[in-house]
Amino acid sequence: MGLIVSVYRSAERTIDCTNSGQSIKHSAFTLLNARGAFEPKPHRPAAMLRKNPISGCHIEMVGDENAHTMFGGNFAYCCDSSLARAVKELSGDSLIGAIPIYDRIETALDQYQGGREDSRPHVVSSFAAIEPYLDRRHEKIKDMWECRRIQLRGMKPEHKFHYLDSERHIEQVYRESQSMMAGYQPAKHAVEFHAPMFSTDKFFRDLQTATLAHDLGKVDTWNPEGGEKGYFRGHEKVSALLCEEAGFKYDDPVTTVVREHGSLKDWANMKDKTKMKLIRRICAADHEMILALFVCLLDCDAAGFSDEGRKIAHERRQDFWEYCLCINYLDFELPNNKCADFKMIKTGCKHMLRSLGREVVR
């Protein structure tokens, strides 16, 4: 029997700093060493108050007693005087506010794996299943998709790349991102990969959002006659503008990969200068996983093509990746980047592709 306390999280937080701790999964806990009349339940698991030399007390999950726990950024509180009484008895201090929750647990590999294995969302059938990881921007993209899917239905160009209409294409691309998420196994050899901005939760959330957003602009650019003007000319830029409308910044990784996902159409005929310019444009998002996000979106997009289209798309993607591997990072400057240089970005992509079993070098 214990006391129910509510979990308090930042409304603006877009990254899970608990490393998939219990406070990101539940909205309440049952404190067993505070007087109360409630049994622990699956939706409010058992926790304990622990003495803390800095904050007086902190909350720790039952079962984590032998682990090295850390503060993950979330708090717990309730207005019942039993909580204040329990804090006073345990620490000798008065309760003055919400209590820190120590539910972050790391292993030695977490700094490059991006979290414990159970922090990776499981393959799901809808966006709602990863709702704890969503913020308002991702919800807005989901709403845009729901509003536009009827218009996308039936938009099928007579082109060798396409065998599905645009609605079914996006659904297929989104399902491929879910398959990637389910198949992610951190590359054990990648101990040199240190990525302070990387988490598997955020990466796959961004990838799934990008798969939903990447072709939303086709509604505004649909030309059923095709020809020289194309069927969806400029839809990538329109889709990126919709991402900005949803709240993503111009240089956010999601906006960037959506805007550039059609840039490899003429890759074989591009001059080196143009290729380097394109890579700089992508890497300007200044995130160590931006190249990985771009390549994974290309792979997901190809899953919605015909067999012939998929083969061509994979060849372009592979040519692009091998070109990136040949670039000497010492000669490839990203002058406006403050967080990630090209070496870090390339290493991040290599780590992700190996973890997904998708790195193929001819």
Instruction: Examine residue 361 and state whether it is found in any structural domain, yes or no.
Output: no
The pLDDT value recorded for residue 361 is 53
Partner residues linked to 100 by β-bridges? 75
Give the residue, 331 or 277, on which the prediction is more confident.
277
Instruction: Examine residue 360 and state whether it is found in any structural domain, yes or no.
Output: no
Point out the domain boundary residue: 105, 129, 156: 105
Both 91 and 157 in one domain: the answer is: no
Both 87 and 193 in one domain: the answer is: no
Range name among 78-92, 176-190, 269-283, 316-330 with the lowest pLDDT average: 176-190
- Cβ contacts of residue 333 below 8 Å, gap of 6+? 342
Both 310 and 351 in one domain: the answer is: yes
What digits encode the pLDDT tens for the residues 217-266? 999 898 888 766 678 889 999 999 999 999 999 999 999 999 999 999 99
Instruction: Examine residue 16 and state whether it is found in any structural domain, yes or no.
Output: yes
Instruction: Examine residue 133 and state whether it is found in any structural domain, yes or no.
Output: yes
Both 56 and 155 in one domain: the answer is: no
Instruction: Examine residue 145 and state whether it is found in any structural domain, yes or no.
Output: yes
Whole-structure pTM value = 0.62
The pLDDT value recorded for residue 224 is 82
If you search the block for the tokens 């218009």, which residue do you land on?
A: 151
The pLDDT value recorded for residue 333 is 83
What digits encode the pLDDT tens for the residues 129-186? 444 444 688 889 988 998 888 889 888 887 777 888 899 999 999 999 999 988 888 7
Instruction: Examine residue 263 and state whether it is found in any structural domain, yes or no.
Output: yes
**3-state class of 3 per DSSP?**
strand
Residues 49, 87 contacting (CB under 8 angstroms): yes
**3-state class of 75 per DSSP?**
strand
Please state the domain count of the chain: 2
DSSP string for 32-70:
TTS--SB--BTTB-EEEEEEETTTEEEEEETT-TTS-EE
Rg (CA), the chain: 24
Both 311 and 207 in one domain: the answer is: yes
Angle at 226 between CA 220 and CA 228, to 5 degrees: 110
Residues 302, 310 contacting (CB under 8 angstroms): yes
Both 135 and 75 in one domain: the answer is: no
The rounded distance, in Å, linking the Cα atoms of 207 and 146 is: 18
**Which structure tokens are listed for 26?**
């539940």
Averaged pLDDT of the chain: 83
Both 179 and 315 in one domain: the answer is: yes
Domain with 232, as residue range(s), is: 112-355
The pLDDT value recorded for residue 56 is 85
Both 282 and 196 in one domain: the answer is: yes
Structure letter (DSSP) for residue 115: S
Instruction: Examine residue 232 and state whether it is found in any structural domain, yes or no.
Output: yes
Residues 254, 213 contacting (CB under 8 angstroms): yes
- Cβ contacts of residue 316 below 8 Å, gap of 6+? 264, 265, 267, 268, 298
Both 37 and 177 in one domain: the answer is: no
Both 71 and 99 in one domain: the answer is: yes
Closest C-alpha to 349, from 323, 331, 330:
323
Both 89 and 160 in one domain: the answer is: no
DSSP string for 235-262:
HHHHHHHHHHHHT--TTSHHHHHHHHTT
Both 86 and 230 in one domain: the answer is: no
Instruction: Examine residue 362 and state whether it is found in any structural domain, yes or no.
Output: no
The rounded distance, in Å, linking the Cα atoms of 225 and 134 is: 38
Point out the domain boundary residue: 37, 70, 105: 105
Point out the domain boundary residue: 105, 133, 150: 105
Closest C-alpha to 355, from 177, 154, 120, 180:
180
